Amino acid sequence: MKLTNIASLDPAITSTGRKGLSGASASDKRMWDEMQSDWESFAIESESALIVAMNNDQPIARENDLTGMEDYSGTEKEIKSKARIKQNFFRRAVLSAYNYRCCITGLAIPELLVASHIIPWRTDERNRLNPSNGLALSMLHDKAFDIGLITINDDMTLRVSDVEHSGEDSFYKIAIKYYENKPIDLPEKFPPLKEFLYHHRQHVFRG
């Protein structure tokens, strides 16, 4: 019931005609506004709350989600620990929204999926942890998206760059070119924002 109360505050839900429940409190509204305005602080606080609730002093994450952070100490430990918490929050939020399936191919093996940033992590600090700045992609399509080989149109169909010509590469044809103009699978929540997709087309895509 609490989640359905909070759902009444979500425009992505109310715009479809659904209303949620009417019991959202002032604290629910403050939480929603905080989440929308500062995803980074919200991610750290929510993950920390989960850790306490689960009686666990380690970030809740799969072992293979993030690596290379095992040996650190002091201030560096705190910085890397927060980075791990934030990246884990973004990964779980994005992949769960897409039901742990690649939005292009439908691949449903979590170990082969990436929560890919639409506007790169280094470019937009404010939206680094905004799940609407993410897509669930296979590792292959994440890399193709990252280097600008593919992008997403405003109508949520895939566009493939004409700059790259792979000749008779049969794998390229079936793994990438095949999906050109096909619609992506949209998430249950946190749909990709058109302004983020526009930025990717303008600044990353090899159009």
Q: What pLDDT score does 37 carry?
A: 74
Q: Tell me, letter by letter, the H, E, C secondary structure of 108-156.
A: CCHHHEEEEECCCCCCCHHHCCCHHHEEEEEHHHHHHHHCCCEEECCCC
Q: What pLDDT score does 66 carry?
A: 41
| pTM for this entry | 0.71
Beta bridge partners of 134: 117
Residue 61 has pLDDT above 90, yes or no: no
pLDDT above 70 covers what percent of the chain?
85
Q: Render pLDDT for 134-171 as a digit per residue (tens, 0 to 9).
A: 999 999 999 999 999 999 999 999 999 988 666 678 99
Q: Which residue has the tokens 């994440």?
A: 142
Q: What pLDDT score does 36 carry?
A: 76
